[in-house]
């Protein structure tokens, strides 16, 4: 068995609540934006499309990445079946295999592996056969094990898809919360999200962030690892689905099997999780937290720069660290020779 660390070189007071990823969430404090999902009379939405991505190993390898014309009433399963061969179970409600890769091929001793799907960065809480797509949705299928999959609640596709398209057509307002040294980076990130089409986004000093805003908004948090917000997530990392831990001036990155790598010096982190402040719980697919942080100011700025250039395979990962200008996948994927 070997761990595959995937790398890309770059071009230039929080309450924790948890529930299962099922059921209907209560109404949020702030009403989300709802997209118009009407279609033209010929069955194809004018200029509308969705993107379907198929990956393995927490995004380590991309098998499919295609844009599909959006038809009225098209489901996530419909779109997947346009770009890949599938095998389903339980009346079509469960995707068992994609392009011949399925749970029946699980290696002995590795534990069960299955296909998980994410919609606009959120780990989906409904069957793909019942999720009706909206314009610009990004649908990602990833094949990985259950041991880690239970806590991977979001992927980096959430930036900016979760803020623009949301889940089931409901996009919550967004705040870019920043520490005092990172106002310039926060303003730039807010502009990126606004230009991508988010309806409501604003920068805000993190000290001015209210409990209600934590509960009801998407957050991009641009602060150092010593900030109280990051420290509380750090203390609850397994519960919220972070595969990193900050300790003193180092960052510890964990593979899916628990193996650990320690990085010193100036290290940045990009990580997406579903909001642990949502009163309905983590996993309700309402609002996202996107961490832009690091072991020091240089690490935070390196993460912000990486976010600006986030694309390709890296956008499919749950999180990434930035070391000497290089993006590295977290969690690393355990593969079998």
Please give the chain's pLDDT, 337 residues, in tens: 344 444 444 443 344 443 334 332 222 334 455 444 433 333 333 359 999 999 999 999 999 999 999 999 999 999 999 999 999 988 778 999 999 999 754 444 457 889 999 999 999 999 999 999 999 999 999 999 876 655 799 999 999 999 999 999 999 999 999 999 999 999 999 999 999 999 899 999 999 999 999 999 999 999 999 999 999 999 999 889 899 999 999 999 998 888 899 999 999 999 999 999 999 988 899 999 999 999 999 999 999 999 988 888 899 999 999 999 999 999 987 653 3
- Alpha carbon separation from 337 to 4, 107, 145, 160 (Å, rounded): 11, 11, 17, 35
- Distance in angstroms (rounded) separating the CA atoms of residues 164 and 135: 11
* Helix, strand, coil percent content, the chain, rounded in steps of 5: 25, 35, 40
pLDDT of residue 149: 53
What DSSP line would sit under 160-208, residue for residue? Answer: HHHHHT-BTTEE--EEEEE-GGGHHHHHHHHHHHHHHT-SSEEEEEGGG
Is it true that the peptide bond before 331 is cis, omega within 30 degrees of 0? yes
Say which CATH architecture domain 48-149 belongs to. Beta Complex (2.170)
CATH of domain 2-21+154-335: 3.30.379
> Per the structure block, which two tokens stand in for 152?
């991977």
Contact between 332 and 307 under an 8 Å Cβ cutoff? The reply is: no
Task: Give φ, ψ of 72 to 5 degrees.
Answer: -60, 130
Contact between 46 and 183 under an 8 Å Cβ cutoff? The reply is: no
- Distance in angstroms (rounded) separating the CA atoms of residues 291 and 103: 32
pLDDT of residue 147: 64
Closest-CA residue to 224 (of 290, 272, 294): 294
pLDDT of residue 40: 34
With tokens 């993190």, the residue in question is: 206
* Domain locations in the chain as residue ranges: 2-21+154-335, 48-149
Q: Is the dihedral of CA 241, 244, 245, 248 positive or negative?
A: negative
177 torsion bin: left (phi>0), alpha (psi -120 to 50), beta (else): beta
Edge to edge, what strands does the sheet with 101-102 contain? 86-89, 94-98, 101-102
Residues in the chain: 337
- Distance in angstroms (rounded) separating the CA atoms of residues 133 and 174: 22
- Distance in angstroms (rounded) separating the CA atoms of residues 194 and 213: 18
Contact between 241 and 152 under an 8 Å Cβ cutoff? The reply is: yes
> Per the structure block, which two tokens stand in for 302?
């390196």
pTM of the model: 0.85
pLDDT of residue 112: 80
pLDDT of residue 10: 44
């Amino acid at each position: 068995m070997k761990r595959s660390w995937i790398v890309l070189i770059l071009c230039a007071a929080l309450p924790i609540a948890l529930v299962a990823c099922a059921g209907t969430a209560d109404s949020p404090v702030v009403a989300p934006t709802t997209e118009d999902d009407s279609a033209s009379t010929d069955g194809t939405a004018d200029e509308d499309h969705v993107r379907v991505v198929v990956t393995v190993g927490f995004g380590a390898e991309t098998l499919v990445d295609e844009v599909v014309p959006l038809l009225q009433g098209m489901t996530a399963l419909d779109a997947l079946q346009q770009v890949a061969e599938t095998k389903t179970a339980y009346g079509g409600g469960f995707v068992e295999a994609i392009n011949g890769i399925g749970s029946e091929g699980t290696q002995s001793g590795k534990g069960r592996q299955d296909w998980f799907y994410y919609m606009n960065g959120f780990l989906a809480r409904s069957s793909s056969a019942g999720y009706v797509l909206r314009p610009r949705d990004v649908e990602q299928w990833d094949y990985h094990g259950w041991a880690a999959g239970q806590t991977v609640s979001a992927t980096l596709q959430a930036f900016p898809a979760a803020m623009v398209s949301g889940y089931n057509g409901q996009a919550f307002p967004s705040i870019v919360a920043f520490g005092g040294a990172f106002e310039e980076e926060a303003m730039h990130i807010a502009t990126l999200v606004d230009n991508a089409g988010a309806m409501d986004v604003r920068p805000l000093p993190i000290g001015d962030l209210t409990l209600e805003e934590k509960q009801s908004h998407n957050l991009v948090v641009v602060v150092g690892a010593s900030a109280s917000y990051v420290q509380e997530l750090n203390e609850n990392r397994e519960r919220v689905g972070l595969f990193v831990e900050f300790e003193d001036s180092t960052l510890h990155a964990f593979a899916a099997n628990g193996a650990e790598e320690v990085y010193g010096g100036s290290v940045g982190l990009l990580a997406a999780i579903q909001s642990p402040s949502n009163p309905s719980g983590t996993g309700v697919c309402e609002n996202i937290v996107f961490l832009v942080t690091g072991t020091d100011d240089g690490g935070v700025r390196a993460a912000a720069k990486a976010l600006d250039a986030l694309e390709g395979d890296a956008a499919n990962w749950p999180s990434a660290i930035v070391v000497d200008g290089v993006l590295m996948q977290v969690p690393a994927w355990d593969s079998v020779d």
